[in-house]
Structures are given as structure tokens and as C-alpha cells.
Amino acid sequence: MADPTAFYSVISGIGGALIGGVAGVYGPVRIDKRRREHELHIENLRREFEIQAQARAADLEARRLRDEANAREQAIEAERRRLRAEEDARKKAASQEESEKVLAAIADATVALQDWHRLIARTLQDLAAEREVNVAEFDESAEPVMHSVAEAISLVSNRSFRSVRQNGHTGDPSGDADGRQPVTLAMQQVTLELRRQLLAPQSGLDVGDSITARTDTIRDDLMRVFRAERELQVGPPIVVNATMVAAAETYRP
């Protein structure tokens, strides 16, 4: 009878050989499979990392473009505000300059208008007293004051007051334009009519009273216009009453 130990030894040897053969065949296959799986995993991680990196780069680029666009818009808006501020400053300066020009012209014209009125009145008095009047001196006195009044009238804002009715009264702003004439023409007509009287006096005619009435009307209406224009430029005058004076005295240190 065979030795069992020898039999088991043979069986073990055969089994070991089989196992070794199988391991020799399938071991490298499994190792290679794991290696390929590992390499594939690494490649997937690399691709995922690249995708994330590209996404971050795209996000940073988009953010940079947005920041540049916002900065550009802010710069444009700031430039627009600067230009608007400069334009407003220019308009304000021009308006202030124009207002000062109008006020200066009105001040000159107010004095000139009074001078013209006094010239007409004094000349009429000389005619009534049969005193000799130098026509050249009359012309020399009348021309500059009429020019000053005409310049101020050309600057006033209310154009409705630049004309008067032919009877010497200023027309209502809402009235009919028929029968109206420039106020400077009315002044010139009065002045020329008086000048004709100086050159060829006409006795027996009530010319002096007519000239005086027309002169008074032109002066009074123009003074009213000049006051209204001054209020338009600088506001109404401050009225100081007794209550305001008393209050000022009370709080005086």
C-alpha cells in the first residue's frame, strides 16, 4: 500500500504548481488592469483639474472685463458730470454777466431818461419865456441820453414794453399791436417836434402842453418798466418797516 504522505506531497506539489501557474498568468493581468485603472483615474483627475482651472480662468477674465466695463462707464459718467458742471458754470457766469450788463444799462438809462425829461422841460420853459435856445447844444444834449435809453430798452426781458401807442401811452401787453410804435421812436418824435419849435416857433398853438404830457408819459412808463426789469434780475426790493427796525434794535448787541 502506498504511503499517504507521499501521495499528499504529490498532490500538494501539483496544486502548488497549478496555483503558481495561475498566479503567473493572472497576476500580471490584474496588476496591469489596476495600473490602467489608476492611470485612467489620474487622467480623469488631470482633466477635471484642467476643466476647473479653465473655468476659474474664464471667470477671472469675465470678472476683469466686467471691472473694466464698470470702470469705463464710471469714467464716462464722471466726464459727463464734469462737462455738465462746466456747462452749468458757463451758463451761470454768462447769465450773471448778462444780468450785470442789463442792470448797468438800466442804471445809465434811468439817469439818461431823467436828463432827457429835464432837457425837454427846460427847453419848453426857455421857449415860453422867449429865451434863445442854441439848437446845436440841444442836439448835443439830446443825442447821448436817447442812445442810452435805447440801449437799455434793447436789453430788457419784457419785449411788450418796447413800444408805445402813438398817443404817447404805453400799450397794455395784452392789447392790440395796431397803432403801436417803438418807444425810442416816440422819444425821437417828441424831441424832433421840440427841435422844430426851436427852429420855427409856432405861436398860438398848444404845442408845449402836448409835448409835456407825452414826455411825462414816456418817462413814467419807462421808469416803471426799468423798475420791473430790476426786480426780474435781482428780485423785489426789501421793504423795511417799523417792526423790522424795532426787531433789529432789540437784538443789537
Domain annotation for the chain: domains and CATH numbers: 100-236 (1.20.120)
User: Tell me, what's the pLDDT at 250?
Assistant: 56
Rounded to the nearest 5°, which phi and psi values hold at 200?
-145, 80
Least confident of 42-51, 115-124, 170-179, 188-197: 170-179
Query: How high is the mean pLDDT of the chain?
Result: 75
Spatial separation of the C-alpha atoms in residues 130 and 54, rounded to whole Å: 111
Confidence of residue 121 (pLDDT cuts 50, 70, 90): very high
pLDDT at 160 over 60: no
Residue 202 predicted with pLDDT over 50? yes
First to last CA, the chain: 147
pLDDT tens for residues 59-112?
A: 898 999 899 899 988 999 998 898 888 888 887 777 788 778 878 888 888 888
Phi (first) and psi of residue 176, to 5 degrees: -75, 145
**Section 142-164 average pLDDT:** 69
- State pTM to two decimals: 0.53
Q: How confident is the model at residue 174 (pLDDT cuts 50, 70, 90)?
A: very low
Residue 180 — pLDDT band, cuts 50, 70, 90? low
Q: In the prediction, which pLDDT does 241 show?
A: 55
Determine contact, residues 145/215, Cβ cutoff 8 Å. no
Q: Is the pLDDT of residue 205 over 60?
A: no
Whether 157 and 173 have beta carbons less than 8 Å apart is answered as no
Top pLDDT among 150 and 117 is at 117
Q: Which residue has the cell 423795511?
A: 240
The pLDDT-based confidence of 117 (bands split at 50, 70, 90) is very high
Q: What is the pLDDT of residue 95?
A: 75
